[in-house]
């Protein structure tokens, strides 16, 4: 049996981000959300990483569409993004945001 030789590539790297201004509540516990003051579509608004749907829009629609799959379809994202968006909106509301 002949040897079949292929190539494999191992990639490893390490990075960090120190300091900075995070939102209140912070996004650290919401890996599927993101925010930028210079976002070309939704500047200064927390959005989902897939679909770029605004958290406040999702929270508003959640009262009208009590189904995460339907909400996800409307906002072109996933049910897990919807869950994080609603959780974030809820925590922000507790802080009077």
Q: Contact with other proteins (CB under 8 A): which of 24, 25, 31, 96? A: 31
CB 50 within 8 A of CB 78: yes
Q: Which two tokens stand for residue 79?
A: 């049910």
d(CA 87, CA 34): 14
Residue with smaller CB distance to other proteins, 7 or 63: 7
Size of the site for other proteins (CB under 8 A): 44
Selection from 30, 26, 24 nearest residue 86 by Cα: 30
Q: Contact with other proteins (CB under 8 A): which of 25, 27, 56, 79? A: 27
Contacts with other proteins by CB under 8 A lie at 1-23, 26-28, 30-43, 47, 49-50, 52
């Amino acid at each position: 049996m002949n040897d079949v030789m292929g190539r494999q590539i191992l990639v490893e790297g390490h990075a960090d981000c120190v300091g900075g201004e995070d939102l209140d509540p912070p996004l650290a516990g919401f890996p599927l959300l993101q925010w930028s003051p210079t976002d070309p579509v939704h500047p200064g608004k927390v959005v989902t990483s897939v679909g770029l749907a605004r958290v406040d829009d999702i929270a508003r629609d959640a009262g009208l569409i009590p189904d995460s799959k339907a909400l996800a379809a409307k906002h072109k994202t996933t049910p897990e993004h919807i869950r994080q968006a609603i959780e974030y909106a809820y925590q922000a509301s507790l802080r009077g945001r």
